[in-house]
């Protein structure tokens, strides 16, 4: 990769700019440029897309995205120490990289991007799930993005793609699979990162569906799922009793046995329940 973009190895960049990863920012840098290029390729053809990257750090994945042909990359970075290193990448790819210093949870990145948009990021561990939930629950659907290609702790990735009956199945699986195709496309060992985390990581690719798999009011569905999985060991007639009056009758009308637990209920059944609850 260094030969492709003419930039120095990442270890050299990190040493020169004093970019030791900070635990408080959830930073774990991926230094192998072959891996960052592979992640970029897993997002599909980027040549006609704007790409949003969150937490680029010293720019390993950023370089992969640009080298793999991304039309334009908007990199949102909270750590000001990384800005000089990212500026060097921007200089090497004139007009194709915009670096935005700020908190990804607070900035309106969509306003700076031209569709079609794909999100590709090695997300900071401490805000990854919150960012994903926000991208999956916009005010309107389809969202501003076509796809999300995101790195998480492997445990989180498994929660996104889990099915009913598994320990990993929960609110995150419902949110993701209701409106997206979701699959794990790559796993990475701790030693791929600096510093090495205590867990394996995985890259999840989510493609936005034109419309949700099953009709349901998003707010009602989210409320039901949040209540159900907040008390996983309880039967639904108990965990959902505060969601709507006569919840047991509504569960039966949706074809759900009131004695089931949330992790035993399919996405389709949850959507049916959400429609019944919304109807009063």
pLDDT (tens digit per residue) in 59-105? 999 999 999 999 999 999 999 999 999 999 999 999 999 999 999 99
Q: What is the pLDDT of residue 280?
A: 87
Interval 154-192: pLDDT, tens? 999 999 999 999 999 999 999 999 999 999 999 999 998
On whether the CB atoms of residues 2 and 9 are closer than 8 A, the answer is yes
Is residue 196 within 8 A of residue 250, CB to CB? The reply is no
Instruction: Please tell me the predicted confidence (pLDDT) of residue 26.
Output: 67
What's the pLDDT band for 4 if we cut at 50, 70, 90?
low
How high is the pLDDT of residue 2? Answer: 47
Q: For 162-217, where are the alpha helices, taking DSSP H only?
A: 171-179
Question: What is the helix (H) or strand (E) element at residue 90, kind and residue range?
Answer: helix 83-92
pLDDT at 212: 97
What is the structure's pLDDT at 193?
86
pLDDT computed for residue 125 by the predictor? 77
**φ, ψ for residue 202 (rounded to 5)?**
-150, 150
Residues 6+ apart with CB under 8 A from 30: 36, 39, 60, 61, 122, 151, 188, 192, 193
């Amino acid at each position: 990769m260094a030969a492709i973009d003419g930039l120095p190895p990442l270890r050299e960049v990190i040493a020169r700019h004093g970019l030791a990863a900070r635990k408080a920012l959830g930073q774990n840098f991926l230094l192998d440029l072959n891996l960052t290029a592979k992640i970029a390729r897993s997002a599909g053809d980027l040549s006609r897309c704007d790409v949003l990257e969150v937490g680029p750090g010293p720019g390993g994945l950023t370089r992969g995205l640009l080298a793999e042909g991304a039309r334009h990359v908007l990199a949102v970075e909270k750590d000001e120490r990384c800005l000089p290193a990212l500026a060097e990448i921007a200089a090497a790819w004139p007009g194709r990289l915009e670096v935005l210093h700020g908190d990804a949870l607070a900035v309106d990145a969509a306003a700076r991007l031209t569709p079609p948009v794909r999100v590709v990021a090695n997300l900071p561990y401490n805000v990854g799930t919150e960012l994903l939930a926000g991208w999956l629950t916009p005010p309107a659907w389809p969202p501003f993005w076509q796809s999300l290609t995101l790195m998480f702790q492997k445990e989180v990735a498994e929660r996104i793609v889990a099915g009913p009956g598994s320990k990993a199945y929960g609110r995150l699986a419902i949110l993701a699979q209701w409106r997206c195709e979701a699959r794990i496309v790559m796993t990475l060992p701790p030693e791929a990162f600096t510093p090495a985390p205590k867990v394996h990581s995985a890259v999840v690719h989510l493609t936005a569906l034109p419309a949700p798999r099953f009709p349901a009011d998003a707010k009602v569905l989210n409320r039901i799922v949040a209540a159900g999985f907040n008390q996983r060991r309880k039967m639904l007639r108990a965990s959902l009793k505060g969601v709507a009056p006569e919840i047991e009758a509504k569960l039966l009308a949706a074809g759900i046995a009131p004695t089931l637990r949330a992790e035993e209920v399919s996405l389709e059944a949850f959507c049916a329940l959400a429609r019944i609850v919304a109807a009063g």
